Amino acid sequence: MTTIAIASLLPTRLNANGDAENAAVLAVRARWRGHDASVIAANAPTELPEDVHAIVVGSCDDPSLAATLGALLPFRARLIAAVEAGVPIVAVANGWKLLTERVEMTRGEWVEGLGIVSGESPLRERRSSDDLVVDVLPDGQLPAGTRLVGYENHARDFTPGVGVAPLGRTVHGRGNGNGSEGAIVGAFIGTHLHGPVLAKNPVLADHVLAQALVLAGGAHDGAQVSDARLDALDAYAAHARDQIVASLSH
C-alpha cells in the first residue's frame, strides 16, 4: 500500500464547474486499488503538506478572476517547487490560465499570471461553450489514440510559450484556438476540459495517479490494479464518451 496526499487549491473559489472534484476522483481511484489517499483543501500555502503527491487547480468564473489571481499568488513558490519536483498538477480552464505568464482580463488589459506555464491567455471574440473532443498526439505522455472528452466553457485561448507541448489536437470544439488543446510541461497538465475531466477520462486519471504513486515511493503500475468497482465506473464513462462523440457526428 502506498500513501499519497492530493491537494486541491482554493477548492471553494476554484470549483465553478465541479473541477475541484478531480482531487476526489484521484483519491477514490487510489483507495479502490488498495492505497491510502487523502485530499487536502489548501486555502493557503501553509495548508499544503511538505510531501504532496498531486495537485488539482479547478476553475473560477470570469467576474472572480482578479480576486482569484490574488488568492493564488501566495502559492507561486510552492507551485514552482512542485513542478520542479515532478509533482503531477492538473489545472483547468481559468485556474490554468492564471498560471500562465499573461492573462488578458478585458480587451487590451493584460495582467501578469503566476508564470508557472510559459505562454499567454488572450481573450476571444466570443465565449466558447461546447463539447470538446481531443485526440492525444503520438508524442504525448498518454498512449497514442487516446481520445479525451469533456465540455469547454471559456473566454480565452492559449498561446503556448517555449517548452510547452499540447495535450492533443481538437477533433471537435475550440480548445486552445489553434487546432490544439491543453498544455503539458513535465508532469503539469493544463486543459479546457470540464467534466470533471478525470471522471470522464479514466485513462488520464490513471496517468496522473501513476505519477503520484511513483512520487510517493510506490510501484509504477500501482494505478493499474484491477477493481470491479472501477471497471463498472470506467464502462459507464466509456459509454458516456461514446454517446457524446456519436451525437457530434449527426
Q: pLDDT tens, 114-134?
A: 999 999 999 999 999 999 999
Amino acid 140: pLDDT: 61
Number of neighbours of residue 4 by Cβ within 10 angstroms? 24
Residue 92 has pLDDT above 70, yes or no: yes
Section 42-65 average pLDDT: 96
Q: Domain 3-248 belongs to what architecture?
A: 3-Layer(aba) Sandwich (3.40)
Indicate whether 225 pLDDT > 90: no
pLDDT for res 250: 62
> pLDDT value at position 220?
76
138 falls in which pLDDT band (50, 70, 90)?
Answer: confident
Q: Do the Cβ atoms of 248 and 131 come closer than 8 Å? A: yes
Average pLDDT over residues 46-52: 94
Answer yes or no: is pLDDT of 164 > 70: yes
Report residue 69's pLDDT band, with 50, 70 and 90 as the boundaries: very high
Q: Is the pLDDT of residue 139 over 80?
A: no
What percent of the chain shows pLDDT beyond 70? 99
Q: Quick one: pLDDT band at residue 159, thresholds 50, 70, 90?
A: very high
According to the model, what pLDDT value does residue 14 have?
97
The candidate with the shortest Cα–Cα distance to 86, out of 206, 184, 157, 160, is 184
CB atoms within 10 A of CB 70: 10
Residue ranges of domains in the chain? 3-248
Residue spans of beta strands (DSSP E) within the chain: 3-9, 36-42, 54-57, 89-92, 102-106, 109-112, 119-121, 123-136, 147-156, 159-160, 168-172, 180-181, 183-185, 188-191
Rounded to 5°, angle at Cα 207 from 224 and 186: 145
Q: For residue 221, what pLDDT is reported?
A: 82
Task: Provide the percentage of residues in the chain whose pLDDT is more than 90.
Answer: 87
